[in-house]
Amino acid sequence: MTKFTDMNLDLKVLKAVAETGYDTPTPIQAGAIAPALEGRDVLGIAQTGTGKTAAFTLPMITLLGRGRARARMPRSLVLAPTRELAAQVAENFDTYAKYTKLSKALLIGGTSFKDQDKIIDKGVDVLIATPGRLLDHLERGKLILTDVKVMVVDEADRMLDMGFIPDIEEIFKRTPFTRQTLFFSATMAPEIERITNTFLSNPAKIEVARAATTNTNIKQGVVMFKGSDKRKEPSEKRALLRNLIDAEGEACTNAIIFCNRKSDVDIVSKSLNKYGYNAAPIHGDLDQSHRTKTLDKFRDNELRILVASDVAARGLDIPAVTHVFNFDVPSHAEDYVHRIGRTGRAGRSGTAIMICVPRDEKNLEDVERLVKETIPRLDGPTQAAPANGDKPAAEDKPKRTRNRRKKDDDAAAAKPAEQPAPPAPDEKPKAEERPKQDRNRGGRGRGRNDPDVVGMGDETPAFIAKSFAERAKV
């Protein structure tokens, strides 16, 4: 069996790897490190959670052992689709390069341009960035990529999903033709294949698992759910989620819940906290510092449940996640592979449970077609209602509709009305008992030629009936 010590890695890198507790590379690492050290382009295809980050970080540190970075001219470049994945790559670099003198810079959104410029001006060996922020620096004239010797594109298919392919092509054009390129992804879409054919030269292709396969360590299941009616379905679905979490019992030490929409991430997180679950949201609209703090709490077991959009589905290395709950069936089938890949990592077992409502059945078919297996149907908890007798939230209560008001009005009309007693002969009717006048006959709607006088009652004062001329003589 191949070990890290059998590879031509730098001794300082091997020392750092040994301190992490690993001595045997994963299949993707065993297949990619050797050709990368030889200077060849590499195309790595492997399911998420198999160690792709170390597969390019370890040889890159070894290759950059000699040489010195110049101001604004990084010697290597790593592109990642999300801030979290870029930050994770930076953490891996710090771990494996701690015995070297290599420097790095992390260029992601949500942080100061000024602080990033200061680091770049000193010169860095490794530049880790998201495409958007990297292009911002390039357009401002703060970066030059002509000295890049190793370029890495991580999660290439996610780049395609997020619309970064034109940016990737633009960045490639700014790097030297002699660079070494490493591509890593869990799936290979046709567009990605076109990019690799254009920018990679005779790459060593390492495919340790069929593209879009799921980890066999993960126990999968889907609950087919239909709400009692359209208005109540969202709250009933959240209640079902809570019951599914409770049904897992102590086995669910922590979990990531994925939603398709950012708004649902906030709603589900707020609902879970309302019912006593320790949960927090993470999605692209949150400030970067807030997202980082939330992830740190989740890693440190201060937070049990992370409610996330697909921003957290790719590349986050949180080894001990026991459960993944898909509150929604992902609209892109490939995202299912990456979502459930957050559990069952590094040889551990995991559980992935999904909720499917009737409108998502088409997406479920796409997922099963992609992974080429039928996801087992589960019998959900028998009662999809608020747990522990809790009353539903105010927003979950059905609204009073026009039909209900009409029904109440009809009931009132069916009830016989009480007739008021007639007034005495000499008694005048009270003001509130007098019949209301027809609004169409008076006020602004009255015609100019209408001879009727309205509102005077039966006893008109005598002085009003007199003409102006007669009143002048008095």
Mean pLDDT of 382-399: 44
Q: Does the residue 446 lie in any domain? A: no
> Could you tell me if 269 and 302 lie in one domain?
yes
Please state the domain count of the chain: 2
pLDDT at 391 over 70: no
Torsion of CA 187, 254, 305, 218, to 10 degrees: 30
pLDDT grade for 251, boundaries at 50, 70 and 90: very high
pLDDT at 162 over 70: yes
> Could you tell me if 171 and 247 lie in one domain?
no
> Could you tell me if 163 and 272 lie in one domain?
no
pLDDT of the residue at 109: 86
pLDDT grade for 237, boundaries at 50, 70 and 90: very high
pLDDT at 398 over 70: no
pLDDT grade for 159, boundaries at 50, 70 and 90: confident
pLDDT at 454 over 70: no
Indicate the average pLDDT of the chain: 82
> Could you tell me if 14 and 43 lie in one domain?
yes
> Could you tell me if 107 and 223 lie in one domain?
no
Q: Does the residue 403 lie in any domain? A: no
Q: Does the residue 413 lie in any domain? A: no
> Could you tell me if 180 and 329 lie in one domain?
no
Which range has the worst mean pLDDT, 128-132, 200-204, 452-456?
Answer: 452-456
> Could you tell me if 232 and 375 lie in one domain?
yes
pLDDT of the residue at 395: 42
> Could you tell me if 194 and 238 lie in one domain?
no
Q: Of 396, 416, 434, which residue constitutes the final position of a domain?
A: 396
pLDDT at 170 over 90: yes
> Could you tell me if 54 and 195 lie in one domain?
yes
pLDDT of the residue at 392: 44
Q: Does the residue 24 lie in any domain? A: yes
pLDDT at 59 over 80: yes
Q: Does the residue 369 lie in any domain? A: yes
Mean pLDDT of 420-440: 51
Task: Considering only residues 63 and 161, tell me which one the structure prediction assigns the higher pLDDT.
Answer: 63
pLDDT of the residue at 319: 74
Q: Of 345, 369, 396, which residue constitutes the final position of a domain?
A: 396
> Could you tell me if 232 and 200 lie in one domain?
no
pLDDT of the residue at 216: 82
pLDDT of the residue at 217: 87
Mean pLDDT of 74-102: 92
> Could you tell me if 300 and 360 lie in one domain?
yes
CATH of the domain at 311: 3.40.50.300
pLDDT of the residue at 422: 55
pLDDT grade for 50, boundaries at 50, 70 and 90: confident
Q: Does the residue 283 lie in any domain? A: yes
> Could you tell me if 183 and 229 lie in one domain?
no
pLDDT grade for 447, boundaries at 50, 70 and 90: very low
Q: Of 340, 364, 396, which residue constitutes the final position of a domain?
A: 396
pLDDT grade for 44, boundaries at 50, 70 and 90: very high
How far are the Cα atoms of 401, 409, 418, 420 from residue 415, in angstroms, in the given order?
22, 10, 9, 16
Host domain of residue 199: 4-207
